[in-house]
Amino acid sequence: MRSKLTLVTATALLAAFQAQAQDSAWYVTARLGAATQASQTLSFTGSGGAATGSLRYGPGLLSGAAVGRELGAGWRVEGEFVYQSTGMDRAPFSSPGPAGKGNHAATSLALNVLREFDLVGRPSVRTYLGLGVARLTEVDIDFESAGQPEQSFSTSGTGWQVLAGARYDLGARWFVDAGVRWLHGPRLRMSGEGATAGAVDARFRPWALTAGIGRRF
Range of the domain at 111: 25-216
Q: Note down pLDDT in tens along the chain; length 217 residues.
A: 434 433 433 443 344 334 444 457 999 999 999 999 999 999 999 887 888 888 899 999 999 999 999 999 999 999 999 999 999 887 777 777 787 888 999 999 999 999 999 988 888 999 999 999 999 999 999 998 877 788 899 999 999 999 999 999 999 999 999 999 999 999 999 999 988 889 999 999 999 999 999 999 9
In 3D, which of 191, 183, 200, 184 has the Cα closest to residue 62? 183
CA dist., res. 160 & res. 76, Å (int): 17
CA atoms within 13 A on the CB side of 159: 23
Q: For residue 177, is it within any domain?
A: yes
CA quadruple 192, 40, 59, 92: dihedral, nearest 10 = -60
Q: For residue 2, is it within any domain?
A: no
- Residue 198's region, left for phi above 0, alpha for psi from -120 to 50, else beta, is left
Q: What is the 3-state secondary structure (H, E, C) of 143-210?
A: EECCCCCCEEEEEEEEEEEEEEEEEEECCCCEEEEEEEEEEECCEEEEEECCCCCCEEEEECCCEEEE
81: domain CATH number is 2.40.160.20
- The predicted model scores a pTM of 0.84
Q: For residue 17, is it within any domain?
A: no
What confidence score (pLDDT) does residue 23 get? Answer: 53
Q: For residue 173, is it within any domain?
A: yes
pLDDT, tens only, 44-103: 998 878 888 888 999 999 999 999 999 999 999 999 999 999 998 877 777 777 878 889
Q: For residue 11, is it within any domain?
A: no
Q: For residue 20, is it within any domain?
A: no
Three-state DSSP state, 104: strand
In 3D, which of 102, 106, 56 has the Cα closest to residue 82? 106
What is the total count of domains within the chain?
1
| DSSP result, 43-96 | EEEETTEEEEEEE-EE-EEEEEEEEEEEEETTEEEEEEEEEEEEEESS--PPSS
Q: For residue 159, is it within any domain?
A: yes
Q: For residue 12, is it within any domain?
A: no
The backbone torsions φ and ψ at residue 206, rounded to the nearest 5 degrees and listed phi first, read -80, 155
